[in-house]
Amino acid sequence: MSDASGEERIQVFSGTAQPTLDADVGRVVALEAAPVGRRVALANHRNEVLLADLDSGTVRVIARSEFGRSEQLAWSPDGAWLAFPLWTGPRHSAIRLYEVATGKAVSATSGEFRDFYPAFDPEGRYLYLLSVRTFDPVYDNVHFELSFPRGVRPYLVALQAGGRPPFDPEPRGFSTKEEKDKPVADRPLRIDLEGLERRIAAFPVPEGRYRQIAGISGKALWTVFDVAGAHGRGGHAEKPGRLECFDFAATHCETLVEKVDWFALSRDGKTLVLREGKRMRALEAGKKHDDKGDAGYPEHSRKTGWLDLERIRVSVEPALEWRQMLHEVGRLQRDQFWVADMSGVDWQAVVRKYEPLLARVATRGELSDLIWEMHGELGTSHAYEAEGDHRKPPAVALGALAADFRFDPATGGNEIAHIAAGDSWEADTDSPLNAIGVEARVGERVLAVNGQPVSRERPVPALLVHQAGAKVELELAQANGEVRRTVLVTLLKDEVPARYRDWVERNRSWVHERSNGRVGYLHLPDMMSAGFAEFHRYFILECERDGLIVDVRYNRGGHVSQLLLEKLARRRIGYDFARWERPMPYPADSAFGPVVALTNEHAGSDGDIFSHCFKAMKIGPLIGKRTWGGVIGIWPRHR
């Protein structure tokens, strides 16, 4: 795709650049060239699937969804059929098969589940796909809840009726003579449409979090990832997945590569390109690579398969690049703003207004400022610009103690005025001064850091520059300066988690004290994974009190408000009784008494929505100030 003309157009390269296909194809999110003939399948931001004929120069829409995009496209080996997922509802999709010759489309799956990532067997027997149709719930360890953290399995659809069961291979001898069939691309692919949706079978592998699937001769490849925490606490941050290979002849699945984020096959199916983080690798498809055998070879070699991406050099003219970027910003808003009339703003006139200022832009930072100003003309929320090739400032990593100090003239040291009380069981969310063996107290003085004396001119924070995460030695003394001790602490890289926990716990204690323990308190910092975790951490404790305060002040927004409101709206209608225990509420995890919410002008986005819906659902009174007012949302997907 090229936007040299000012709009995105198909550009064909065959040794030298060929003329572009001047047709509106939208913002392309997927593109796949046919293996036979000069056709290209595309999917765009308008939820359309397009077929472009490069010979005739025509483009036609072959499918469109009202619910989402079709981001995976797959051609049959002979180029006669195109497979793609089509959203048929908010949460379910079907795999569609489009026949190029007739222009007719049929469903290969029922559309009652979420089916995605179609891929053809190169031998023309099967259509592979991934699907969410294994409903084996897992009980939650915190709340009375069940969920489906895995749910996906690889499947195949038999394209012809009457064949052998795919996972019951035909008995064969041990002959080493290879039997070569006629290449599928040289013969038409036959699909028996009658009963097609019923000829689906799951691969004999467990459900998981599968992301890609592809076919090579006699085998299927896929990636699978472990369940991971949304923000990586407890040692379960998302890790690279595994590339697995299922061999039909052996009916056996094995792991080919342990760490992979994404893969692609060459057109002939013989070479596999893998990505792990920012590294890429090319290996023989379908064979397990022995990394131990790479010892002694250069890192970037045919033996190891690792590609030397540092060899890539690109010539960049900043002024031309910045002009393209400004125009692309204009197109992105024009094509994807939430209403077609741009809220009454003449957007093209806005772009023309700001374009002449490009001549005065001298740095990447000034370009960002220009884009922000241009976005401001829309008068909307969530219109941002981020990332890019900004010149990085010097990295000054300040080590933190999550404590407040004041200078003590008597000793010349820094008196500890406050120590944040975080989660003592998590070293990176508590002040190092609280660590076992350190156990500093408010009122003690810090006299020296790593042997360097503390003074008015060089307070403790100044001596912690470039020490983030490092171990440092502190000399502490009691208020009279007589009893001194030296302790070793590991400085925090980020003190915000400790400070935040300290703030929440002080608020909670204040509410408990003022209400004689009758009112509970919890705070929601955002409506993302952190806010979801905070809610469930405290709700099971605080909901048993006579009343509950839900504090959404300073809420940074997100998308989980509906999940939290659903639980806050629960009403107790009964109790479960057991002989030796106190009555337990029904439904579980429901508030005992009234619930009120606190909000302010710094609660925004989904924090706005939570505040409004808390009132609309009549969960309880909403107290505070008018919220930020930014509910035109954001979906970052073009970088």
Three-point CA angle 111, 147, 145, nearest 5°: 140
Indicate if the pLDDT at residue 187 is higher than 90. no
In the three-class reduction of DSSP (H, G, I as helix; E, B as strand; rest coil), residue 615 is classed as: helix
Residue 487: both structure tokens together: 């302790």
The class level of CATH for 515-624 reads alpha beta
For 403-495, CATH gives 2.30.42.10
* Gap between the Cα atoms of 236 and 533, Å rounded: 14
CATH architecture of 318-376: 2-Layer Sandwich (3.30)
pLDDT of res. 183: 54
Name the CATH topology of 1-205.
Answer: Methylamine Dehydrogenase; Chain H (2.130.10)
Q: How does pLDDT run across 264-318, given as a tens digit for each residue?
A: 999 999 999 999 999 999 999 999 988 888 888 999 999 999 999 999 999 999 9
- Listed by start position, the domains of the chain span 1-205, 208-313, 318-376, 403-495, 515-624
Indicate if the pLDDT at residue 638 is higher than 80. no
Indicate if the pLDDT at residue 13 is higher than 90. no
pLDDT of res. 181: 54
12 falls in which pLDDT band (50, 70, 90)?
confident
Q: Share the mean pLDDT of the chain.
A: 93
16 falls in which pLDDT band (50, 70, 90)?
low
Indicate if the pLDDT at residue 47 is higher than 90. yes
Distances in whole angstroms, Cα of residue 69 to Cα of each of 33, 47, 114, 127, 531 = 19, 4, 13, 20, 29
Distances in whole angstroms, Cα of residue 96 to Cα of each of 84, 117, 313 = 5, 11, 41
* Gap between the Cα atoms of 338 and 342, Å rounded: 8
Question: 76 and 182 in contact (C-beta within 8 Å)?
Answer: no
- Mean pLDDT over 227-233 rounds to 83
Reported pTM: 0.91
Indicate if the pLDDT at residue 467 is higher than 90. yes
pLDDT of res. 293: 82
Q: Which residues pair with 490 in a beta bridge?
A: 471
Residue 496: both structure tokens together: 């915000």
- Mean pLDDT over 352-356 rounds to 97
Indicate if the pLDDT at residue 479 is higher than 90. no
Q: How does pLDDT run across 109-157, given as a tens digit for each residue?
A: 999 999 999 999 999 999 999 999 999 999 999 999 999 999 999 999 9
Helix (H) or strand (E) holding 57: none
Q: How does pLDDT run across 163-179, given as a tens digit for each residue?
A: 889 998 777 765 555 55
Residue 613: other Cβ atoms inside 10 A: 18
